[in-house]
Amino acid sequence: MFFRPAAFALLALTPLPLAAETGDAVAGAAQFIRCKACHAIVTDDGTVVQKGGKTGPNLYGMIGRPVAAMPDFRYSPGFKAAGSAGRVWDAANLAAYLADPTAWLRQASGDAGARTSMTVKMTEGSDDLVAYLATQVPAPMASQSPTAPNPVTN
Ligand code: HEC
Q: Which residue has the higher pLDDT, 37 or 15?
A: 37
Residue 12 lies in a domain: no
CA–centroid distance, residue 146 to ligand 1 (Å): 26
Ligand 1 pocket test, pick from 36, 38, 94 with the greatest ligand atom count within 8 Å of Cβ, gives 38
Question: pLDDT tens across 68-116, in order?
Answer: 999 989 999 999 999 999 999 999 999 999 999 999 999 999 999 999 9
CATH number of domain containing 36: 1.10.760.10
Ligand 1 atom at minimal distance to the Cα of residue 67: 27
Ligand 1 atom, smallest distance to 69 CA: 26
pLDDT, position 140 = 65
153 within some domain? no
Please tell me the distance between residue 55's alpha carbon and the centre of ligand 1 in angstroms. 8
Residues 1-26 pLDDT 10s: 555 555 555 444 444 444 445 799 99
Round the average pLDDT of the chain to a whole number and report it: 84
| 22: alpha, beta or left? (left if phi > 0; alpha if psi -120 to 50) | alpha
Q: For residues 144 and 102, which has the higher predicted lDDT (pLDDT)?
A: 102
Residue 3 lies in a domain: no
Comparing 131 with 150, the larger pLDDT belongs to 131
Cα(150) to ligand 1 centroid in Å equals 23
Q: Whose CA is nearest to atom 5 of ligand 1?
A: 35
pTM value > 0.85:
no
Look at residue 62 and tell me whether its pLDDT is greater than 90.
yes
pLDDT (0 to 100) of residue 149: 54
Please give the tally of structural domains in the chain: 1
Residue 115 lies in a domain: yes
Question: Residue 47 belongs to what domain range?
Answer: 17-140
**62 located within any domain:** yes
Which atom of ligand 1 has the smallest separation from the CA of 80? 17
Q: In the predicted model, what is the mean pLDDT of residues 55-65?
A: 96
- Residue 28 in any domain: the answer is yes
pLDDT tier at 153, thresholds 50, 70, 90:
very low
Whose Cα sits closest to atom 35 in ligand 1?
35
**Burial environment of residue 88 by CB neighbours within 10 A (0 to 12, 13 to 18, 19 or more):** middle
Residue 76 domain flag:
yes
The pLDDT assigned to 5 comes to: 54
pLDDT at 67 over 50: yes
